[in-house]
Amino acid sequence: MTEPRVSGDWRAWFAEHGPRLRMIARQWTRSEADADDVLQEAFIRFWKHQRHLPGDPNALVVTSIRRAALDLIRSSDRRTVREKAVAADADTVGWFEPESDPRLNALAESLGRLPEEQREVVVLKTWGELTFDQIGEQLAISPNTAASRWRYAMEALRRLISARSHA
């Protein structure tokens, strides 16, 4: 008896086996999107490197799916740990080194309350020492938009710090 081999067009093979393989991938993943990613990765790996190997192609693909799913889970878990560590550091460190100067503390708190697009421009302008032209290039916006965001951020910071000092 000859071993089943995979040959021909990958589209036809995948059309026949894809739905079943996706269901298998879903059993080892946390979401439908992850299952799609795992199946794509596993199928590409199989088609490029394993389809001509002896043995049951189904077993080879399923093994590739399982390995790709485990790789994705490990990667996701490591990323989650890193993100939690960064978030914990951000909560304790803030924008500035801890200071006894209440003005710096007010500025740090107010900066954190700006909309992200304004805060980004403030950081690039103040600490990055970039021009509005350079900021525009970095953020894929016009220099005028960068300057407007800077102005809005400065106005918002004045209001926030003033309100805090009057509280």
Q: Find, among 11, 10, 21, 13, the residue nearest to 69 by Cα.
A: 21
- List the domain range (segments joined by +) for residue 73: 10-90
The Cα–Cα gap between 24 and 2 comes to 26
Among 90, 116, 142, the domain boundary falls at 90
pTM of model > 0.85? no
Structure confidence by residue, pLDDT tens digits, 10-29? 788 788 888 888 888 888 88
Q: Which residue has the higher pLDDT, 82 or 22?
A: 22
Written as one letter, the residue type at 51 is: R
Span 25-43, mean pLDDT?
88
Of residues 85 and 32, which shows the higher confidence score? 32
- Section 102-131 average pLDDT: 82
- Percentage above 70 pLDDT, the chain: 86
Instruction: Give the pLDDT band (50/70/90) at residue 105.
Output: confident
Kindly report the number of other CB atoms within 10 A of residue 77's CB atom.
10
Q: Is residue 121 domain-shared with residue 154, that is, in the same domain?
A: yes
Co-location of 78 and 112 in the same domain = no
Taking a C-beta distance cutoff of 8 angstroms, is the pair 100, 58 a contact? no
Q: Is residue 31 part of a domain?
A: yes
Q: Are residues 60 and 107 in the same domain?
A: no
pLDDT interval class at 90 (50, 70, 90): low
